[in-house]
Structure 1
Amino acid sequence: MTKIAVIDAQLCGISGDMFLSALVDSGADRIKILKKIRLLEKLFTGSVIKNIDFLTTESNGIKATKFHLDLEERNSERSATEMLKIMVKCCDTVKLSESGRQFVINSLRAIIKVESAIHNKSPKNLHLHEASSIDTAADLIGSAVALEDLDLFDDTIFYTTKVAVGGGITRFSHGIIPNPTNAVLEMLKNLKIPIVGGPVESEVTTPTGVAILSGLNARKTLFYPDIFINKIGYGSGVKRFENIPNLLRVCIGSNISKDNISKDFVSVLETNIDDVSGEILGNLLEKLSVVELGVKDVSIVNGLTKKNRPLNILKVICSEKTEKNIVKIIFEETGTLGIRKVINERYRLERHETIIPVKIMKKDFMIAVKISKDDSGNVINMKPEYEEIKDIAKKLGFSYKKTLELVNNLIFQKRVY
């Protein structure tokens, strides 16, 4: 069942430490996170972590968790390129999963992208100030570890409410600037997430906070989606406001479904190929069919292009978190110059996999079978794994078609429901 996480930033915005704290308040392993963050110290020259902890606190009477990080830093800035390299090393040091690594790097790149535009400098000539601190790394790496611990990188849709952006002015490395800061505005513009001013004259949403929304591909919502709520976490900010709790609320649960039909989002990648051989296309299909790559479906359709030239249309369906690796393979293997991308919402039947023993020609085999059912519990489809049928056919010297028919009949006789 698809998991849902709602990031409620409509009252007091979002910052990196508030998001991390909300995840810990939701049940993420605080000890594991603190140990991982401690490992980052050696990667940031001139930085010393004097004290670090997650504190139980309250804000206007509401119990919450607050991330406490006491630092001593001598480096006030780093180049964007250097910071990216350090963050890659951080991901390796704490042994993040590929999903966690992508979240961290994509979040940092969101900051670099807008800072480059604001300062009219290419990333290689850009110097970061606040975003180059170890506390940025602590927020992003800590959040990635927490998301992994809560199993939120797999089959999860993230939503964000409109984001409160505060007011008044902020003093930072470039002097005085009004709230929201330029970086916050630019990122929220790119994400097409609505904002709300106030509720105080202070900075309540930070670039790192918005970068996290970017790294999670959070979808905007004016109201909470249909959800069974399992966990609620409150992350407290450092500042105290009169009559307003400085909190970020995160709700984690699952989608409401009275039947076995659920919805999720997939990336559909498509490109026209008109100048490669059949051997190259065949090799591409083999590469894209590797299970670990996470391709949900791949197809090639023949067609005609301008001047009646024949072409092949490659279409790949995958998740957003795996699409970058898939795009890289398509570029390398085909030489195409562009790949179209569309995010589609799809309906799908919930399914599970079971192992069924069968005997063919006095030989025993164990077959993995995927079973899908309707909302009444009736079996809609049972499909043995292709590779296993292929392997059995080879061992028995049968055709694939005959082997599949035999296996399906044997499964039917076992009355698997």
Structure 2
Amino acid sequence: MSQVIYFDCFSGISGDMTLGALLGLGLSLEDLRAELAKLQITDWQIASRQEVRGYIAGTRALVTAPEQEQHRHLSDVRAIIEASTLSERVKRQSLHVFTMLAEAEGKVHGYPAEEVHFHEVGALDAIVDIVGVVVGLELLGVERVFASPLPLGAGWTRAAHGWLPLPAPAVLNLLSAAGAPVTPDMTPAELVTPTGAALLAALAEFRRPSLRLSRVGYGLGKRELERPNVLRCWLGELLDEPQSHIHTHHHEHTHKL
């Protein structure tokens, strides 16, 4: 039976929350560091610690990387990933996430994906987040990814270009490209980040599967919110499902990875 993961996004999703949840499922931090070292980029660090958000204990992934002077483009990120000794599957899936992210950001600003300046999403920490999650899924033996509907929050966020309405425009572009289900939620915070949205848009099927549950992991966000700022991940073996469920448009999309 194939190993699958279900992202239970009751408080949204971000890159570091996803890494934290995978570490909470038992992903080895040492193994993760060893794989990320194959990227041939320096100055980043990753650590983890146990914390609590709203009475729920979990794992906080701490990715640190200096802000760099040069702004990367999609071609720069592609060159870094392709020059690495990561597995072909990890390279392909990571590039798929970054390409969707660049297309969504470009659509917001009105220019092609290749011209997007990755000051926000191609910075070192985003490369570590995205490649780290794809690597983590492979190390955990995950063959398929599923996700819940997403609460998007409301209000405003400060971005490199100035103030943007929440949910961020790039997040809506990513989720509309994936046909993702969203729930009405007016929490005044950015619950789903562009990185989190790109990971799910590129890798996930948006439904809760039948599975034999083996482990649960909790990844914590930076802030304390009125609700627990936590991403819950369920890991298990996929159980047989009716064929009618399996042949969805998005399932076909995910298997082009």
Mark yes or no: TM-score above 0.5.
Answer: yes
Structure 1 residues 203-222: aligned runs within 5 Å: 203-216=190-203, 218-221=204-207
User: Which of 110, 123, 130 matches 1:133?
Assistant: 123
Residue 185 of structure 2 aligns to which amino acid in structure 1?
G
Residue 34 of structure 2 aligns to which amino acid in structure 1?
K
Q: Does the CA contact (< 8 Å) of 2:147 and 2:206 recur in 1?
A: yes
Residue 227 of structure 1 aligns to which amino acid in structure 2?
L
User: Which of 50, 58, 62 matches 1:64?
Assistant: 58
Cα deviation digits, residues 81-112 of structure 1 (max 9, x gap): 222222323xx2xx322221111010001101
Q: State the aligned residue count.
A: 255
Q: Does the CA contact (< 8 Å) of 2:35 and 2:86 recur in 1?
A: no
- Following TM superposition, the consecutive aligned residue runs of length 4 or more in structure 1 with deviations greater than 3 angstroms are 35-40, 261-268, 318-321
Q: Does the CA contact (< 8 Å) of 1:266 and 1:319 recur in 2?
A: no
Matched with 2:25 is: 26
Q: Does the CA contact (< 8 Å) of 2:102 and 2:114 recur in 1?
A: no
Residue 138 of structure 1, CA deviation: 0.6
Structure ID, larger Rg? 1
Cα deviation digits, residues 301-337 of structure 1 (max 9, x gap): xxxxxxxxxxxxxxxxx9954x57xxxxxxxxxxxxx
- Measure the CA separation in 1 of the matches of 2:117 and 2:7: 30
1:109 aligns with 2:99: yes
Residue 247 of structure 1 aligns to which amino acid in structure 2?
V
What's the RMSD between the two structures over aligned residues? Answer: 2.7
Residue 144 of structure 1 aligns to which amino acid in structure 2?
V
User: Which of 176, 179, 186 matches 1:189?
Assistant: 176
Q: Which structure 1 residue ranges, 5 or more long, are not aligned? A: 269-317, 325-417
Structure 1 residues 57-96: aligned runs within 5 Å: 57-75=51-69, 77-89=71-83, 92=84, 95-96=85-86
Residue 24 of structure 1, CA deviation: 1.0
Alignment TM-score, normalising by the size of structure 2: 0.88
- Measure the CA separation in 2 of the matches of 1:128 and 1:220: 27
Matched with 1:43 is: 41
* Distance change (3 Å), C-alpha of 1:189 and 1:320: closer
Alignment TM-score, normalising by the size of structure 1: 0.56
Cα deviation digits, residues 244-302 of structure 1 (max 9, x gap): 110111101123359xx99995899xxxxxxxxxxxxxxxxxxxxxxxxxxxxxxxxxx
Q: Which has the higher contact order (CA 8 A, sep 6+)?
A: 2
